Amino acid sequence: MDLNFTPEEQAFREEVRAFLQSDLPDDIRAKMKGGKRLVKDDYFRWHQALSKRGWLATNWPKEYGGPGWTPVQKHIFDEECYSAGGPRILPFGVNMVAPVIMKFGSQEQKDYYLPRILNLTDWWCQGYSEPGAGSDLASLRCSAVRDGDHYIVNGQKTWTTLGQYADHIFCLVRTDPDAAKPQQGISFLLIDMKTPGITVRPIILLDGEHEVNEVWFDDVKVPAENIVGEENKGWTYAKYLLTHERTGIANVGASKAAMLHLKAIARDQMKNGRPLIEDPLFRNRLAKVEIDLMALEMTNLRVLAEVQSGGAPGLESSILKIRGTEIRQELTDLARRALGPYALPFQSEALDGGFNGEPVGPDYAAPKAQQYFNMRKLSIYGGSNEIQKNIIAKAGLGL
């Protein structure tokens, strides 16, 4: 047993660091470090830099233009990106719809869509959840009725993350309302957002930000060749997507960066004339979450090693999702609490890149309460943590 990275992996880490040093634009790095708001152009330029280097689609096989990295290399890459202040790679195109197209799509779909994802021509968003179908996704009702060479889509999708930037949406739609089980009448459909009849409306979240949307479909005509795989088999493809590439799910890199930032705040904030980090109660809260993060990192590395040697993670994926999100939430909770009263001021304009007004309180204070409230989403999305526990109970413990 050896917890150290191999010399090759260390060299790879250096290569990633050098790339981040030279190719991550400074203004984006500064925004990330300062907790500022990112706009579409920030994501675009960062993705472009990665695409140019051939590192955008880190999970893709080489034949489709991926870098052919091992799970450990991907982990190192994620960790270094977060540490340097690189924004997350938006998953909807490269890591969500692409693997489904690769696995189940037609040759035409592969030839058309995959290069456009890789060169950033198309921006994708995800059309899964509906107002009546959250954790119980299979109860979705958005319908697609075959009419000659087209499907006519009617219904509503919601929680569409960054749908306002997207020009394509991959949707789960109901093609057989009379199927014996709700899972059996669902299809996986690729839709151009410019098609007439589609309306995107912003949903403002509790942190005041426009991150998600609702998308309405009103007699939207979608070419029949845009269906992925077979009609009524969409649930199988969606499940494949859920199990595909879950090793990044623990988000260890993001939490490690957040831990360092939190400690810096605790050194700067004062309590009774001493740095907050010396306060016995707060320092023990910090120690507890840091220990939990070390355990999470080890669990994650163990799963990566298992995947690297050909294994498939089982209940571990759900464990990593649950603990990874709990720990990240705990870190944002402590950052908010570290600020004391200065967590209260809500200066939304201070989060814009060009803001040059007077900050209220310490310059790191403005986004902290917002981030705390935003991160409550982690235990709800991607299969809520309660759903993950159901999965472990059933598949892992046989209960």
Partner 1 sequence: MDFSLSEEQRMLKDTVERLVRETYDFEKRQKIADSEEGFSREVWGQLAELGLLGVPFPEDFGGLGGGGIDLMIVGEAMGQGLVVEPYLATVVLGGGLVELLGSDTQKEEILGAVVGGEKLLAFAHGEPDSRYETAHVRATAEKVGGGWKLTGRKSVVLNGGEADTLIVSARVSGAHDDEDGIGLFLVGKDAANLKLHSTPAIDGTRVAEIALDGVEIAEDAVLGTPGACFHAIEEVLARAVILLSGEAVGAMNMAVDTTVEYLKTRKQFGKALSQFQVLQHRAVEMRIALEEARSLAILAAARLGEPRDVRELAVSAAKSGIGRHARFVGEQAVQLHGGIGMTWEVPVAHYTKRLVMLDHLFGDTDHHQERFATLSDAAA
Binding mask 319-358 toward partner 1 (x if CB under 8 A, else -) reads x--xx-----------------------------------
Q: Which of 294, 311, 352, 363 binds partner 1 (CB under 8 A)?
A: 294
Verify binding: residue 384, partner 1, rule CB under 8 A. Answer: no
Instruction: Considering the complex, state which of residue 73 and residue 160 has its C-beta at the smaller distance from partner 1.
Output: 73
Number of residues that bind partner 1 (CB under 8 A): 44
Q: Residues with Cβ < 8 Å from 237, sequence gap 6 or more?
A: 100, 103, 104, 188, 228, 229
> Is residue 304 within a helix (H) or strand (E), and if so which, with residue range?
helix 280-308
Q: Does 9 sit near partner 1 (CB under 8 A)?
A: yes
3-state secondary structure of 18: helix
Between residues 79 and 214, which has the closer beta carbon with respect to partner 1? Answer: 79
Q: State the nearest-atom distance from the C-beta of 376 to partner 1, in Å.
A: 19
CB-nearer residue toward partner 1: 30 or 294:
294
Piece of 144-152, 222-230, 234-242, 296-304 that binds partner 1 (CB under 8 A): 296-304
The region of 136-144, 175-183, 200-208, 317-325 touching partner 1 under the rule CB under 8 A is: 317-325
Considering only the stretches 57-65, 118-126, 331-339, 385-393, report the one whose residues sit in contact with partner 1 under the rule CB under 8 A: 385-393
What is the DSSP annotation of 134-203? SSSGGG---EEEEETTEEEEEEEE---TTTTT-SEEEEEEES-TT-SSGGGGEEEEEEETTSTTEEEEEE
User: What is the length of the chain?
Assistant: 399
List beta partners, residue 189.
Answer: 171, 227
Determine the residue type at 280: P
**Of 106 and 284, which has the nearer Cβ to partner 1?**
284
Q: Which of 72, 114, 220, 250 binds partner 1 (CB under 8 A)?
A: 72
The distance of closest approach from Cβ of residue 297 to partner 1 in the complex, given in angstroms and rounded to an integer, is 8
Q: How far is the CB of 76 from partner 1 (least distance, A)?
A: 10
DSSP for 355-399? --SPPSSSTTTTTHHHHHHHGGGGGTSSS-HHHHHHHIIIIIT--
Does 295 interact with partner 1 (rule: CB under 8 A)?
A: yes
User: CB within 8 A of 284, min separation 6: which ones?
Assistant: none
Strand duo 186-192 + 270-271: pairing: unpaired
What's the DSSP call for residue 249? G
> Is the Cβ of residue 347 or residue 379 nearer to partner 1 in the bound state?
379
Does residue 281 interact with partner 1 by CB under 8 A? Answer: no
Q: Does the protein bind partner 1 through residue 2 (CB under 8 A)?
A: yes
Q: Which stretch binds partner 1 (CB under 8 A): 100-108, 181-189, 194-202, 298-306?
A: 298-306
Cα 30 to Cα 33, 148, 247, distances in angstroms: 5, 52, 28
Closest Cα to residue 353, out of 31, 45, 25, 26? 31
In Å, the largest CA–CA distance within the chain is 75
Query: By CB under 8 A, is residue 180 in contact with partner 1?
Result: no
Q: Which is nearer to partner 1, 177 or 311 (CB)?
A: 311
Cα–Cα distance measured from residue 223 to residue 264, given in angstroms and rounded to the nearest whole number = 54
User: Which parts of this chain interact with partner 1 (CB under 8 A)?
Assistant: 1-6, 9, 72, 263, 277, 280, 283-284, 286-288, 290-292, 294-296, 298-299, 301-302, 304-306, 309, 315-316, 319, 322-323, 386, 389-390, 392-393, 396-399
